[in-house]
């Protein structure tokens, strides 16, 4: 807690904060970072293996093999989420499973599974796209800003 926020607390609240902080379990930061790195790396290695499979066996190029690779990773993530396996992996690995596209697929599938009792349209569809909507909007906006910068640089003859 910042010092500004601490100053606004009453003495009793400050005492409780110190009491709680002393008993808070220490987080194993190095272990968590290693697990996240390992899990994220394994997911990426699996993705690279799938992409290489498409390149070697179906004569895809690196560019054309990307889309089916992502689709397979998403499908596997959704299947593992529906079986309850992905949650156990994510609990062990932390952010390592949240960063790749499989983490996004897991969060969408989890929302759909959790709200299926409310119906397909309002439950599954509505809650699934609450999360996906913000990601899509950010992606479109970020792409727009990058395109503006690239166009401006091209007009100036820089890029």
CA distance 58 to 65: 9
Structure tokens at 131: 């999360």
Structurally, how many domains does the chain consist of? 1
Domain membership flag for residue 19? no
pTM of the model: 0.69
* Domain limits for position 74: 28-156
What angle is formed at CA 44 by the lines to CA 38 and CA 48, rounded to 5 degrees?
140
Q: Write down the residue that tokens 């950010």 correspond to.
A: 138
Rg (CA), the chain: 22
CA distance 29 to 15: 27
* Helix-then-strand count for the chain, H and E: 7, 0
Per-residue pLDDT of the chain (159 residues; tens, 9 = 90+): 555 665 688 889 888 988 998 999 888 999 999 999 999 999 999 999 999 999 999 999 999 999 999 999 999 999 999 999 999 999 999 888 887 788 888 888 887 888 778 887 777 777 777 777 777 788 889 999 999 999 999 999 886
Domain membership flag for residue 2? no
């Amino acid at each position: 807690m910042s010092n500004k926020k601490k100053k606004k607390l009453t003495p009793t609240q400050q005492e409780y904060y110190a009491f709680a902080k002393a008993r808070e379990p220490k987080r194993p930061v190095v272990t968590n970072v290693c697990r996240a790195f390992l899990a994220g790396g394994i997911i990426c290695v699996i993705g690279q293996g799938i992409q290489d499979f498409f390149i070697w066996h179906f004569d895809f190029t690196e560019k054309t093999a990307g889309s089916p690779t992502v689709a397979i990773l998403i499908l596997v993530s959704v299947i593992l989420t529906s079986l309850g396996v992905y949650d156990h992996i994510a609990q062990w690995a932390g952010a390592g499973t949240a960063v790749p596209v499989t983490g996004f697929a897991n969060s969408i599938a989890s929302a759909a599974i959790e709200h299926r009792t409310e119906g397909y349209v309002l439950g599954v569809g509505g809650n699934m796209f609450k999360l996906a909507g913000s990601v899509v909007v950010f992606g479109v906006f970020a792409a727009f800003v990058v395109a503006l910068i690239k166009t401006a640089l091209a007009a100036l003859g820089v890029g």
